[in-house]
Structure 1
Amino acid sequence: MNQFTTPFGSKVNELPVEPKRYRLIWSPACPWAHRAVIVRRILGLEDVISLGTTSPIRPNIERVDWEFALDEHGVDPVLGITYLSEIYKHTDHQYDGRPTVPVIVDLKKRKVVNNDYFKLTNYFETVWKPYHKENSPDLYPEHLRGDIEHMNDVIFQDINNGVYKCGFAQSQEAYEEAYDALFHRLDQLEGRLSKQRYLFGDYITDSDVRLYTTLVRFDIAYFTAFYANRNLIREYHHLWDYVRDLYQTPGFGDTTDFNAIKRHYHLSITLSPHKEQLKVLPKGPDLSGWNTAHGRERLSKKEEKFLFTGR
Structure 2
Amino acid sequence: MSVTPLASVPATRPAPAFRGRIGQDARSGHYAVPRRYRLHLSPTCPDGLRIAVAHSLLGLDDVCPVTSLGVVPDCPDGGHSALRPLYEASVHRYTGAAVGPVLSDDWSGRIVSTHAPDITRDLSRHFGGGTTALYPRGAESEIEAVERLCARGIEQAAQRAGTAGVGPGERDAALAELLETLGALERWLVGREFLIREQVTGADVDLWVTLVQLDTVHRHHLDAAAVHRIADHPLLWAYARRLAAHPAFGGHLDLDGIARRHHSRCRGLEAAGSAVQILDWATHTAQVH
TM-score, normalised to structure 2's length?
0.79
Q: 1:191 to 1:283 in 2, by over 3 A?
A: closer
Residue 65 of structure 2: aligned partner: 50
- CA offset digits 1:236-287 (Å, max 9, x no partner): 2111110011111230011111111111112x1x333889xxxxxx898554
Distance 2:20 2:200 in 1: 27
Residue 210 of structure 1: aligned partner: 206
Q: 1:205 to 1:4 in 2, by over 3 A?
A: same
8 Å CA contact 1:26, 1:52 repeated in 2: yes
Distance 2:176 2:276 in 1: 26
Residue 290 of structure 1: aligned partner: 284
Report the AA paired with residue 18 of structure 1.
Answer: V
SS state at 1:105 partner: strand
Alignment of 1:274-285 (within 5 A): 285=277
Alignment of 1:93-112 (within 5 A): 93-112=92-111
Alignment of 1:28-39 (within 5 A): 28-39=43-54
- 2:197 is equivalent to residue 196 of structure 1: no
| Equivalenced residues, count | 264
Alignment of 1:96-135 (within 5 A): 96-129=95-128, 132=129, 135=130
Distance 2:87 2:162 in 1: 27
Distance 1:30 1:228 in 2: 25
Q: Which runs of 5 or more structure 1 residues have no equivalent in the other structure?
A: 67-81, 276-281, 293-311
8 Å CA contact 2:221, 2:268 repeated in 1: no
Residue 10 of structure 2: aligned partner: none
- CA offset digits 1:67-102 (Å, max 9, x no partner): xxxxxxxxxxxxxxx432332123113434333322
Alignment of 1:147-158 (within 5 A): 147-158=142-153
Alignment of 1:51-90 (within 5 A): 51-59=66-74, 61-66=75-80, 82-90=81-89
- CA offset digits 1:2-40 (Å, max 9, x no partner): 121021112423422111112111112111111111111
Aligned-residue offset at 1:58: 3.0
SS state at 1:58 partner: coil
Q: 1:274 to 1:163 in 2, by over 3 A?
A: closer
Q: 1:43 to 1:153 in 2, by over 3 A?
A: same
Aligned-residue offset at 1:234: 4.5
Residue 267 of structure 2: aligned partner: 272
Q: Which runs of 5 or more structure 2 residues have no equivalent in the other structure?
A: 1-14
Distance 2:155 2:100 in 1: 15
Residue 72 of structure 1: aligned partner: none
Distance 1:22 1:51 in 2: 9
Residue 236 of structure 1: aligned partner: 233
8 Å CA contact 1:193, 1:239 repeated in 2: yes
Q: Pairwise CA RMSD of aligned residues? A: 2.9
Distance 2:110 2:165 in 1: 35
- CA offset digits 1:208-250 (Å, max 9, x no partner): 0000011123222210047797235644211111001111123
Q: 1:218 to 1:62 in 2, by over 3 A?
A: closer
Q: 1:118 to 1:227 in 2, by over 3 A?
A: farther
Residue 260 of structure 1: aligned partner: 257
- 2:140 is equivalent to residue 141 of structure 1: no
Aligned-residue offset at 1:122: 1.3
Looking at secondary structure, tell me which structure has more helix per residue: 2
- 2:242 is equivalent to residue 245 of structure 1: yes
8 Å CA contact 2:163, 2:221 repeated in 1: no
Aligned-residue offset at 1:207: 0.3
Report the AA paired with residue 43 of structure 1.
Answer: L
Distance 2:39 2:56 in 1: 12
